[in-house]
Structure 1
Amino acid sequence: MTSRSRQVAPSRGSAGRVISTSTQSPAAPNTMRAATIVTGSSSARATSARKKDAPQTMESRTNRTQAVVSRAGARADMVRTIAGCGCPVIPLLALVAPAASVRLSSCPTGSPMVQHRLQPLLCPGSIAVVGASPKQSSFGWMSYRGIVDSGFDGALHLINPRYDSIDGRPCLPNLAAIGKPVDHAMLNVANARLEAVFDDAIAAGIPAVTIFASGYLEGDTDPPLVERLRRKARETGLLICGGNGSGFVNYAEGTLVNLAGNRGNPEVGNITLISQSGSIYGGLIQNDGRLNFNLTVSSGQEISTTVADYMDYALALDSTRAIALFIETIRDPEGFAAAADQAMAQGVPIVVIKAARTEESVKMAMSHSGALAGDDDAYNAFFEHHGVLRVYDLPEMTATLQLATQPRTMAPGGLVAITDSGGEREHLADQASDAGVTFAEITPETSARLAERLEYGLDPVNPLDAWGTGHDYQGIFIDCWHALMADPNAAGGAWIADMRDGEQFRFIFVEGAHATAKATGKPMAFVNCVPGGIGHETVALLNDYGIPFIDGMGAAMTAFARMMAWRDKRAARAMAPPDAPAQSVIERWRERLATGMALDEAEGLALAADFGIETPATAIVETAEEAVAAAEACAGPVVLKTAMPGIQHKSDVGGVAVRLDGVEAVRAAYDDMAARLGARCLVAPMAPCGVEMVFGLVRDAQFGPLVLVGSGGILVEVLKDSLLAVPPFDEAHALSLIDRLKGRALLDGVRGEASADVPALATMLARFSVLAAELGDSIAELDLNPVITGPDGAVAVDALVVPSTEA
């Protein structure tokens, strides 16, 4: 190390690897993913043979094709020449392609090919470390050494005006002094210096940066620093990992751009981890070997590059078998939805922890990273619609990822399980019920096979307690396990066993279980009943056999529940919502809603009727005589409601009179209501008796129109008995929503009441979802409340429709 007295020329050239191209801001929600042209020689970096020695010198890399970037003008005017392939000079921000569909097996430096636009961010050929330091306790040293120790074989440039050299490598005063193209700059600087260095990166034509700093400045101006950086990134197309994050590790390529230089478990795996929390990120990558990653990203504030972008990149990697997310918010719902749908199509489960579910944690999310946490019920609806598996803690995430990445396919049917304790079996049944796991109904043949091997007094059932006196226990357990797993109704199995390293007799179980797993082709897991006792040797052995060792029974049952749900989602037929009305009908209502004037009840019910929803006949009256005539036309008891403009909640002002039977009752009710509230009223026949339900349209700030279904009356208000769903959907999904309500049992009839026509209710809900999908952007509020459901069908007897005033 020497103090700076003169500028030292760089000794290592740029790898000239990738220049990202995009005409859209990475921060803006979109479903487009820009193409990238990759250039280089035929000596591609092989994923399986990354060099672990020092970076090559410039002379040793001269045979690589260089991507030449002009720094003479603004970033938007940059051009790139692709040498040796006859390609024209291409404007940097000119190439746009649909979402990446080309699979990336590695980050090649071979002949030109279309690759992912995030390549310079996540698989750079050259890196500049701004803020490099020789102080071994500093992040400037640890982050630099992390790159070197990871085996990165691209050009590495150290930047710090205080030093001429660090660790025997030249150190330059600034990014401009590099004098050649650089793919990625790691900005390891404090908030006070961040914007200046950020601007230097833009001026140097660097397409991607990683920011560790929080971006919060005391006494900052308006707009604040993070917003200024976001705007500059949007204008230039700069890709950013962070800020307020820990960087990333591309395990397959040996590229580590990480705050503390920590890659955790070094084994290359098949899970992509994307976390908006740096600490959660660090904890997960330093696991005990149960989870192995191909890519991990601490996305932080996502100034320009979001979770959706990283998901899209991960899905272009052949090695990705599952994606793990820890998020506070989704900043690009459209892009996230597109990536989630692509993951489902590719057979890649997405497992997510969505933090900030409570009022207090929502406030914390805003102060922590500026994240708008959103409505948690809306997130549940969004995740369910796109097949994203939500879990609620890290043990559940770990267990679900273990099952998601084991090599065997979950079969149809339910879970089989074996234990060595009656108490454990009871506890297992409770945990499975809480998680929503269904145990397989084993066949009589399987029961007979179990009975042949079990000691006297043990029931041949599933889940099975197979421990008797201990006589021939190893053979009994292995034979019974094979019988359970071979049952045609078994989807997979859980062997409950508190195994520890050093317990040699347990390895017989492992070998027997492995033989059964191979023979049946079904997934299984060993499960600790008591968490925390997992053994590294046991984990390693089971990993070799493709059998997870899950820590904790509750986490294991959640994992099986999620993976069975994912199996069913993939196997389900495509959603087939009811047909929408004619386009002319939709346009007529769209024009009416565009006036901004509230619809009265009669208009609201007419809107519902146009979408196939059963509604009563109604009449608007403005005199007592008209009210009497309308009531007589109904041939039975009627309801009288105020229809005065501006009164939306009629019951609150005494604007509803029910069960009016006869001329005098109708006249008296009308005279009273007209005197108090106004002459305009609505007359309709009384609805038949039945169970009250409620349908609603909710406009979510992140996810747009959502459908609400709930139990009516006091249940929806006091017990919060409602669910949200993304429209449109079909009758089958509508029925699944209804079946999950707390008040579902009321529809089956109680205290002698007849059962309601639940299929008719599901059909109505599906038709309402079509209304929400077609007109939701034009409606601020829509309630059908109540929807009366009885033995003869369902009818919406009241409607509240408020048009949207948003442009």
Structure 2
Amino acid sequence: MNYNSVRETRRERLKRMLVPQSAVFIGGASTVPAIDYCRARGFRGNIYIVNPRRDEVAGIPCVPNVRDLPEIPDVAFLAVPRENVVGVVRDLSGIGVAGAICNSSGFSEMRGGERSQRELVAAAGEMPIIGPNCPGVANFADRSVFMMDHFGVHDENGSVALISNGGSYLSDLGCADRSLPLAYSIGLGNQAMVTVADIMDVVLDDERIRAVNLYLEGIKDAAVLSAAALKAARKDIPVVVIKGGRTSAGRRATESHTASRAGDDIVTSALFKRLGFVEVRTPTEALETLKMLVYAPRMKGRRTAFATSSGSYAVLGGDIAEFNGLDLQPPSAEAAAQLEKYLPPFVHAANPLDISSGQSAGFDGNLNIYRAYLSDDRDVALSVMCFPPEGGWDPQTWNVTTKAFALAARERRMPAAFVNTLPEALPKSVRERMIADGLVPLQGMEDGIRAVSNAVRSSELADVLSQRTDEEILVPRYRTGLTEEIAFDEASAKAELGASGIAVPRSVVVTPDQTGRLDELDFPVVVKALGAGLARRSELGAVVLRLGTPDEAWQAVRSMAERLKKTSPKVSVSDFLVEEMVKDGVGEFLVGIRRVDGIGLALTIAMGGTEAELLRDTATILLPASRKTIAEALRSLKLFQLLDGWRGRAKGDVDAAVDVIQKFAQFAISNGERFVEAEINPLIVRPQGKGVAAVDAVMRLAW
């Protein structure tokens, strides 16, 4: 059976697990909460219990072992000691159960548990296992819930799928009083057999799903995840993602390497951007963003009409909105003139608009204010207030103004949201009424406003992906296995680059005793000590610039050799590179590519120079990448204008830089599993039309 056939068979079995006709729980007292929750959520199929030592569990008669089951269940929920799991899984696979959910722990999440997990996978055979060490699976939309405990009460009208490594995230979002329409809540634990991407691929086949939320603590296979992301993009289903366990350390963080400036967190963000995922920081931000995505029409832009009844919220909310990229254009003269007819005399037309006591003008008065305010061409209408909690002030005024705001936005066919400044003070009945009115109820001022911005970002990413080919979204699978790595010195690295069509300065390699061929070079030149592990050569005195004659170069080589023997006796240097200097550079880039485990090849571009290093002015994208994507990455750098004729400066040959970076990327891709990392530092950019030159390079390849 080939790879695609195996995946398709697993997909079908996972689908059966999500909508089973019968289920078996295997364990003792620890399964009671799961069984009770399953029945409480209305599971319609047969439920069986396997326990050799008990007559009943949760009021259901037990059978002593798997082989005694009266029918073959579609799904099994395991909560047994680790030492019993492998045998039970082997029995389940043997009778043809579609799949198992392994709640039991003590596997790869614990030191020494890797072997047990390998045995578990081997025992499962073709039967997929979700877990181990997972909370379970809930398909609320079909009343098929197999979770370790209570993960919220949800009806059959959900449209959001939560997919997570662990259970706490699912519990928090599932039990939150936020009106999130959950359809699926799936915890995958160790992902021994079934990954986040596998489940996402299956869930996307459900036509009820309108948004997906991923919580990831690691990425097992970016290639499989990218295939699921492509499916989401082509079905126009937005994906919101949180990455836990971030680190700023790169895979091989050496201070001299450009590629290591992009830590694994930055590379992961680059992956998400490529896949069209909206990345958020916290569970509550994810929750509010999901509501905005499923309850509001798709955003068309960032032009925002911001209304409130408080000067403080206008100031604070306006700051948050603009910081998150929303465009608060002032009302047009026509809209301002209309507004002045209905606003209190001491209130001026502005954006954000503080309607102040105009909130008490009754429904028609509020409707006139909002019709005038929304008469301009805007992309989204946003109301920010603090709704009184149940038992507080009479909510009538707030009900009136929010109904009027919703109607005015609906008349303009404009997405609209109400942001409650505090997350806990918006009653459920009010939220439900707002949703019915077409007004998205968001909770918490910062989370709510960020949710609106994230919804805009989701739309922008979707537009970008709709213009890209499948190949520009998918991430190739880079197989590894070669362990011996060779570090190239600068001369060898440049020879590899030169063979790939990348321009490097003319040079010769000499020793202190053999300095011939220097007269073949154009002067001035630079002398550099050669060594594969030689870092920070300038600090070691291993670089000398602007040598004007062959004799000066020869003397520099001899002096450098003697100096390194005394100051750095552990550094073995016998060869020296003498290279022509680029005399007409107008700027420089630093370009690095490295392999990131589980993701692939990451290309990082930075502006050169000490100022750029202080600013950490970098852009990271994943390979392969189109020429357009590389050019966009270059132009996204803060200091790019310095190479684009800023204040009368000479323009650099940016097109040539893009060509070279594309060749560099192709060099990395063509080396396949051999490629580890390489860097051009710097890539000197010459005036427009004169090209670029790679004047320093390092490289490591595997064998």
Q: Give me the TM-score of the superposition, normalised by structure 2.
A: 0.84
Give 1:291's aligned residue. Answer: 180
Contact map agreement 2:34 2:149 (CA 8 A) in 1: yes
1:487 counterpart (350, 373, 376):
376
1:124 corresponds to which of 20, 26, 29: 20
- Equivalent-residue separation in structure 1 for 2:663 and 2:283 (angstroms): 39
Contact 1:761/1:794 (8 A) holds in 2: yes
Distance 1:504 1:759 in 2: 62
Name the residue aligned to 1:657: 544
Contact 2:23–2:47 at 8 Å: present in 1 too? yes
Decide which moves more: 222-231 or 243-252.
222-231
- The within-5 A match list for 1:221-232 is 224-232=115-123
Q: Tell me whether 316-325 or 655-664 shows the greater mean CA deviation.
A: 655-664
The change in CA–CA distance for 1:495 and 1:408 in structure 2 (over 3 A counts) is same
Q: Partners of 1:169 and 1:421 in 2: how far apart?
A: 58
CA gap 1:614/1:802 in 2 versus in 1, 3 angstroms = closer
* Bigger Cα displacement from structure 2, 700-709 vs 444-453: 444-453
Do structure 1's residue 188 and structure 2's residue 79 form an aligned pair? yes
The structure with the greater share of residues assigned to helix is: 2
Tell me how far 1:483 sits from its aligned partner: 4.4
Counterpart of 2:467 in structure 1 is: 574
**Secondary structure at the counterpart of residue 291 of structure 1:** coil
| 1:696 corresponds to 2:589 | no
Q: Which residue of 2 aligns with 1:213?
A: 104
Q: 1:245, 1:327 → 2: CA distance?
A: 14
In 2, are the aligned partners of 1:158 and 1:169 still within 8 Å (CA)?
Answer: yes
CA distance in 2, matches of 1:612, 1:384: 30
Map 1:238-253 to 2 at 5 A: 238-253=127-142
In structure 2, what residue type is equivalent to 1:660?
L
Amino acid corresponding to residue 199 of structure 1 in structure 2: R
The answer on whether the counterparts of 1:707 and 1:772 sit within 8 Å (CA) in structure 2 is no
SS of alignment partner, residue 520 of structure 2: helix
Deviation sequence 1:95-120 (CA, Å, 0-9, x none): 58xxx7xxxxxxxxxxxxxxx33123
The CA distance in 2 between the partners of 1:339 and 1:219, in whole Å, is 29
1:758 to 1:535, Cα distance in 2 relative to 1, 3 A: farther
Which deviates more, 447-456 or 395-404? Answer: 447-456
**Pairing of 1:292-331 with structure 2 (within 5 A):** 292-331=181-220
Mapped to 2, the partners of 1:578 and 1:347 lie a distance apart of: 17
Which of 402, 406, 409 in structure 2 is aligned with 1:514? 406
Alignment of 1:590-605 (within 5 A): 601=490, 604-605=493-494
Residue number in structure 1 paired with 2:255: none
Q: Distance in 1 between matches of 2:443 and 2:471?
A: 45
> What CA distance in whole angstroms lies between the structure 2 residues aligned with 1:612 and 1:414?
46
Give the Å deviation of 1:569.
2.0
**Aligned mate of 2:447, from 552, 555, 559:** 555
Are the structure 2 counterparts of residues 429 and 139 from structure 1 closer, same or farther at C-alpha, using a change threshold of 3 Å?
same
- Say if 2:107 and 2:133, in contact at 8 Å, map to a contact too: no
Cα offset for 1:728? 2.8
Moved more, 714-723 or 189-198: 714-723
Aligned residue runs from structure 1 range 274-673, under 5 A:
274-358=163-247, 375-440=264-329, 444-456=333-345, 458-467=347-356, 472=361, 477-488=366-377, 490-500=378-388, 501=390, 502-572=394-464, 574-575=467-468, 601=490, 604-605=493-494, 607-608=496-497, 613=502, 615-619=504-508, 624=515, 626-631=517-522, 637-642=524-529, 650-662=537-549, 664-673=551-560
SS of structure 2 residue aligned to 1:499: coil
CA distance in structure 1 between the partners assigned to 2:674 and 2:460 by the alignment: 34
Secondary structure at the counterpart of residue 252 of structure 1: helix
Q: 1:804 to 1:555 in 2, by over 3 A?
A: same
Question: How far, CA to CA, are the matches of 1:607 and 1:451 in structure 2?
Answer: 70
Distance 1:305 1:478, change over 3 A: same
Structure 1 residue matching 2:455: 3-state secondary structure: helix
Verify: 1:797 aligned to 2:694, yes or no: yes
Distance of 1:645 and 1:199 partners within structure 2: 52
CA contact (8 A) 1:497 1:527 kept: yes
Query: Is the Cα–Cα contact under 8 Å of residues 577 and 766 in structure 1 kept in the other structure?
Result: no
Q: Is the 8 A contact 2:22 2:47 kept in 1?
A: yes
The alpha carbon displacement at 1:404 in A equals 1.1
Instruction: Give 2:570's aligned residue.
Output: none
- Give secondary structure in 2 for the equivalent of 1:351: strand
| Residue aligning to 1:684 | 580
| Change in 2 beyond 3 A, CA 1:428/1:691 | farther
* Deviation for aligned residue 1:440: 4.8
Which whole-Å CA distance do the structure 2 matches of 1:678 and 1:168 have between them?
81
Q: Deviations over 1:509-556 (max 9, x none)?
A: 222233233323332210122333222121111122342211122212
Task: From the superposition, tell whether residues 211 and 709 of structure 1 become closer, same or farther in structure 2 (CA, over 3 Å).
Answer: same
CA separation of 1:427 and 1:606: change in aligned 2, threshold 3 A: farther
Native 8 Å contact 1:628 1:666 kept in 2: no
Partner of 2:630: 734
In the TM superposition, residue 191 of structure 1 has moved relative to its aligned partner by 3.0
- Check the 8 A contact 1:578/1:730 in 2, yes or no: no
CA change 1:387–1:804 in 2 (3 A) is: same
Q: Identify if the C-alpha distance between structure 1 residues 428 and 764 changes in structure 2 by more than 3 Å, giving closer, same or farther.
A: farther
2: distance between equivalents of 1:621 and 1:131? 74
- Whether the 8 Å contact between 2:21 and 2:45 is mirrored in structure 1 is yes
Contact 1:784–1:798 (CA under 8 A) maintained in structure 2: yes
- CA change 1:576–1:120 in 2 (3 A) is closer
Pairwise CA distance, 1:214: 1.1
Secondary structure, in 3 states, of the residue corresponding to 1:195? helix
Find the residue that maps to 2:300 and give its secondary structure: coil
Amino acid at match of 1:158: I
Greater RCO structure (CA 8 Å; 6+ sep): 2
Q: What amino acid is aligned across from residue 553 of structure 1 in structure 2?
A: M
Q: CA deviation at 1:297?
A: 0.6
Deviation at 1:333, TM superposition (A): 1.9
Range that drifts further, 289-298 or 379-388: 289-298
The number of aligned residues is 665
Against the structure 1 CA distance between its residues 275 and 223, is the aligned structure 2 distance closer, same or farther, given a 3 Å change threshold?
A: closer
- CA–CA distance in structure 2, aligned partners of residues 704 and 217 of structure 1: 24
Paired with 1:238 and 1:651, the residues of 2 have a C-alpha distance of: 59
Cα gap change, 1:245 to 1:716, in 2 (>3 Å): farther
Looking at structure 2, the residues matched to 681 and 649 of structure 1 have their Cα atoms a distance apart, in angstroms, of 16
Percent identity of the aligned residues? 25
Q: Is the 8 A contact 1:594 1:803 kept in 2?
A: no
Structure 1 Cα separation of the partners of residues 282 and 113 of structure 2:
38
Query: Cα–Cα, structure 1 residues 603 and 460, in superposed 2: closer, same or farther, change >3 Å?
Result: farther
Structure 2 counterpart SS, 1:232: helix
Gapped regions of structure 2 (runs ≥ 5): 252-262, 473-481, 564-572
SS in 2 for 1:269: coil
Task: State the shift of 1:375 in Å.
Answer: 2.1
Q: 2:308 corresponds to which letter in structure 1?
A: T
The answer to whether the 8 A contact 1:269-1:293 is kept is yes
1:172 counterpart = 2:63: yes
Is the alpha carbon distance of 1:538 and 1:335 closer, same or farther for their aligned partners in structure 2, counting shifts above 3 Å? same
1:199 counterpart = 2:87 = no
Say which SS state the counterpart of residue 128 (structure 1) adopts. strand
Distance 1:331 1:354, change over 3 A: same
Q: CA separation in 2, counterparts of 1:702 and 1:307?
A: 13
Instruction: Give SS of 2:284's match.
Output: helix
Structure 1 residue runs without a partner (length 5+): 1-22, 25-29, 36-94, 101-115, 133-137, 363-373, 580-592
Contact 2:27–2:78 at 8 Å: present in 1 too? yes
Superposition deviation, residue 419 in structure 1: 2.2
